[in-house]
Amino acid sequence: MNIIYQTWPWYVSGFLIGMVMLALIYFGKNFGMSTNLQSLCSMTGLGKRISYFDFDWKANRWNFVVVLGAMAGGFVAVHFMSDSSNAAINPETIAQLSQLGIDAPNGKLMPEALFGDQIWQSPKSILILLGGGILIGFGTRYAGGCTSGHAISGLSNLQLPSLKAVIGFFIGGLIMAHFLLPLLF
Amino acid sequence: MNVLKYFLVGFLFGIVLTKSEAVSWYRIYEMFHFQSFHMYGIIGVAVATGILGVQIIKRRNIKDIKGLPIEIHEKDRGTARYLIGGISFGLGWALVGSCPGPIFILIGAGFLPVIFVLIGALIGTIIYGALKSKLPH
């Protein structure tokens, strides 16, 4: 049963993610996580001031249930299905990160340097997380989708706009990973 | 069953994204430095499975769970919104290592600092909503 605790191979994981998308299509819905950001804003009544949020968010309640399920899945996977072999990334990556002062995984999913308890006392760390979030929220809503809506659903339906979005994701990601992260850490 | 099926699909999604480590900041960093095939393999197989499934649905006119014809929406045409929006998302993705799905999954798993990422993402969504009519699409 070790297979359950180890890192799941890419071919199993990729297949299951594809099936999640197909299941939602079969239910008459579509796979898109960033739509929930728009629905959450709409729930607060922002639609009275900003027309982008003026829609029937209740029609997207099913997607909140998917999110709740995903949160529960994350909890179970982290607390009952993990072991110290997890996040065994490339040793070269670990060496590179240590030069930036970012700790090695050693079974952890997230680096302490960005997500450890000390960040509650560090305005800089909090600003990095907030800033990253703003770029994600603004970008996914401007592009009309994220990894699930464009990279998985859109490309599966051979949509050219989704390919443009995915190229954008990689341009932004490469700029951040190669040029900006070393300036921030 | 009506609501439960969405919960179960989400539950599977949360487990798979966590156990494949697609939610891990480390895996995203490694991907953008081309130091592992892992993430490319996940996205590649997910898309291959999706393409195959969508083609089967279209060619055999498979009906959805309620017996209605399945319509998969075409994305709107355009370039500016996809490239500029995409670049903004990519910058954030590589910085905090999570896309919208993993933001929720990680909070559920107990990584509380990710709440700041969610707050940021909601602020970013509001900024887009407020500026939408002034931005090129």
Residue A89 lies in a domain: no
Is the pLDDT assigned to residue B2 strictly greater than 90? no
Nearest 5°: phi and psi at A10? -60, -35
The answer to whether B98 touches B117, Cβ cutoff 8 Å, is yes
Q: Looking at A24, A56, A82, which one is the last position of a domain?
A: A82
From chain B residues 24-43, the ones with a CB under 8 A of any chain A CB are: 24-33, 35-43
Using a pLDDT cut of 70, give the percent of chain B over it. 99
pLDDT digits (tens, 9 = 90+) for B25-75: 999 999 999 999 999 999 999 999 999 999 999 999 999 999 999 989 899
A73 and A124 assigned to the same domain: no
In total, how many domains does chain A have? 2
Is A92 part of any domain?
A: no
Chain A residue whose CA is closest to B135: A142
A73 and A1 part of one domain: yes
Min Cα separation A104/chain B (Å): 9
The answer as to whether A87 is a domain residue is no
Model-level pTM greater than 0.90? yes
A103 touches chain B (CB under 8 A): no
Q: Which residues pair with B69 in a beta bridge?
A: B63
- Is the residue at A75 inside a domain? yes
Smallest CA–CA distance from B123 into chain A, residue: A134
Q: Show which of residues 96-135 on chain B sit within 8 Å of chain A, judged by CB atoms.
A: 96-101, 103-111, 113-114, 116-130, 132, 135
The answer to whether position A135 is within a domain reads yes
The SS3 assignment for B32 reads helix
What is the value of ipTM here, to two decimals?
Answer: 0.97
Domain co-membership, A120 together with A177: yes
DSSP characters over B37-106 = SHHHHHHHHHHHHHHHHHHHHHHTT-B-TTSPBP--PPPPP-SHHHHHHHHHHHHHHHHH---HHHHHHH
User: Is A144 part of a structural domain of the chain?
Assistant: yes
Looking at the fold, whether A65 and A23 belong to one and the same domain comes out as yes
Range of the domain at A16: 1-82
